[in-house]
Structure 1
């Protein structure tokens, strides 16, 4: 029986992948591929962020060494000013307090959202997100009314304090207002992690003899720890640069670094000093984030 020989099909010269059809007397031209949809979809937000975020921030940071003249004189003035260090200390302290309070208050709420039915979780999640629909400025003014003299909060505390003097223009007022404003962030972040924890692990620990408290502390809580640290650091970093609420609710003794920067721009028109303070705040935020990541061994905070 005769066998049929199969000839190997080869593309014509110049018609290989990546080249156009060969034309006599011309060199083969590279084939131009159309950009993929995913590439375009990623390039647009990246270009947008570079245009509206990276460039303005870079221009502002550049002013720290170019205004009013080239050099590091602005940093020297900032470092030698006691007001800068006081404002920076107040900012770091209040941001840390707000981060701890939001995590402590947000974890139980996130735990309940992760344990209830899907319908109840959706309803409760909407209630958590509703504050985002209100302006931060409006919520800050609301706290002025609540914490002022004769407000709701002083009246509730009057049996313990003996008077109705308000908490307005104090560090406590800023911490309370910022905790309320930033509380949804830990709730949503921690809930996303708790939804992924397998409940069978806790049941297995109970089966092996662990009590409910021990099973929660030794099994459930370590699995939620990365989300707790990440959400706390997010609130901390946001609190470092928060301006509206400390400016409205806080007093002169509790001026944050953001308030000092705004005064340098709006009152003294010292753009160089304001840019130097902003650079120092950025360095502090990155340094503290790296330190927390090293101490807690939690990945995802920064890539360093």
Structure 2
């Protein structure tokens, strides 16, 4: 009889220790922006809609693959880290979702970490442009402080080790990216600053197969647009660029668009030039690497302004849609 009892108790213990294969998820949203919340993971396609009652409370179970999720209240959202077996309670105010959301219960530490990180990241991003303009020592101090604070919060023993490892990789990737941005800005200022001789392109091809070099354009300002047919942000600038070309057609400036499309997309480029009636001087770089490399072009569109003598005015000029570009033109009496 005792043996039977021991077996029963052992089975009961095993059952009680067994991890649920779902997340118990409940909570309340005051001043909600919708009649439901949505839990989504874009990478896996997971999408779960949970209805809120008239008081904004909810309760449901989620069967997930452990990982990162976005929780939406209307257009407001926050990130969370969910694992089967968690029992999470979420409370928030829809009027200020990201700043009021709090997770509690089993498995809540990771999600609270992500909320805090998102808030800090927003503040960090606001000052990022000013930060990358700083001298090296000041830049290093600010970045080191941010990274050190982030990593110190990861020492929380409650956090899942897989989560901690992933977050460590994330902050190290961010650190590397920001350092690269600062280095690029420093290079642009020191090597491609105003008055420096502009790196040249030579014998770039027009749709009619004639060739043009930068030296051919001396005597006028040259506004260069480096783009590609597959680049949506590039295409979004075309209407503004066309308006500029029209407004300045009789001024002391030439507009040059340089396509860096692959050779396989050559005819895609020529077709787009014709279909969209692209003006100015349309050129094809033919996979030349030297010109983009000289200007440290790592993303497009990229805009460059060169003076009539072939010297740089701005190696990272404002976009056509940016009112600052016309201000720049006016300051140069173009």
TM-score (norm 2): 0.21
Where is the helix percentage greater, Structure 1 or Structure 2?
1
TM-score (norm 1): 0.22
Q: Which has the higher contact order (CA 8 A, sep 6+)?
A: 1
